[in-house]
Amino acid sequence: MSVEPTTQPAAAAGTVTLGDLTVNRMGFGAMRITGKGIWGEPADRDEAKRVLRRALELGVNFIDTANAYGPEVSENLIAETLHPYPEQLVIATKGGLRRPGPGEWRRDGRPEALREALEGSLRRLRLERIDVYQLHSVDPVVPLEDSLGALVELQRQGKIRHIGLSNVDSRQLARARELVDVVSVQNRYNLADRYSEGVIDACERNGLPFLPWFPLDVGQLAEARGRLADVAASHGATPAQVALAWLLRRSPVTLLIPGTSSVEHLEENVGAASLELTDADFDGLSRAAGAAL
């Protein structure tokens, strides 16, 4: 049994602000509307488009994507399905990773590569300006100042509204904030993988939305007799919904972007926005996850 969606259920968890943009804390990650291994076209293109349309019907007004998803497939599908975009919809995309082949992700933070990536995203998304453009990953062979400098120049040209970061540690975040006005951070984080605790704390101190990717990768915590299953049963929810609700409770700056290629799973995920965990639920899950690490 799952938490039933209500009218505009994505709004139930409240909002966060990215610069001058306010969005619901339940967003959508468009990585999985591509093919297997985040490569090529989706197995069911029509279903992928239904997922995007249904997300907006449920009140989602923040979609996260990247030029590397497909590559290019996710951005093309978003534009094909949703353009012209509703006024309240914020689309965030990323540049800084190349995809030579399936399963390959290579960092490329060279200024010329980022400029090319940005221009491609503008063209595919049919936009004149990207609302939130994120550096997908820091390139260890390119000075951060050079990568971010390229994004700042594109921002000055009116092609980027706000700059975000992805896959950074606390030190990199602090250095980036000395160079640019960062509005968001996206890192791997979930109930079972809390490596980025320090980054979330820094985001909370500075009022920056934190976007956890792989939010449902909870490992053995999802076992039938585990704490996650027990909490889910007590709320008449699914373990996935509880895992998402834990993330929303973890910090008021959390902006969720769970992804799926299924309308059914999308509705389940968005339903988590209205699930309120008790203090005992949250603390018990946190302890159980800590013991499993």
Task: Report the C-alpha gap between 268 and 281 in whole angstroms.
Answer: 20
pLDDT of residue 289: 79
CATH class of 11-292: alpha beta
Spell out the domain ranges in the chain. Answer: 11-292
Which residues belong to the active site? 69
44 phi, psi to nearest 5 deg: -130, 95
Task: Report the C-alpha gap between 230 and 266 in whole angstroms.
Answer: 22
Question: Which one, of 229, 253, 243, 254, lies nearest residue 277 by Cα?
Answer: 243
pLDDT of residue 106: 98
pTM over cut 0.75: yes
Q: What is the pLDDT of residues 20-60, one digit of tens each?
A: 999 999 999 999 999 999 999 999 999 999 999 999 999 99
Task: Report the C-alpha gap between 232 and 239 in whole angstroms.
Answer: 5
Name residues of the chain where pLDDT drops below 50.
1-6
Q: What is the pLDDT of residues 215-248, one digit of tens each?
A: 998 665 656 568 899 999 999 999 999 999 999 9
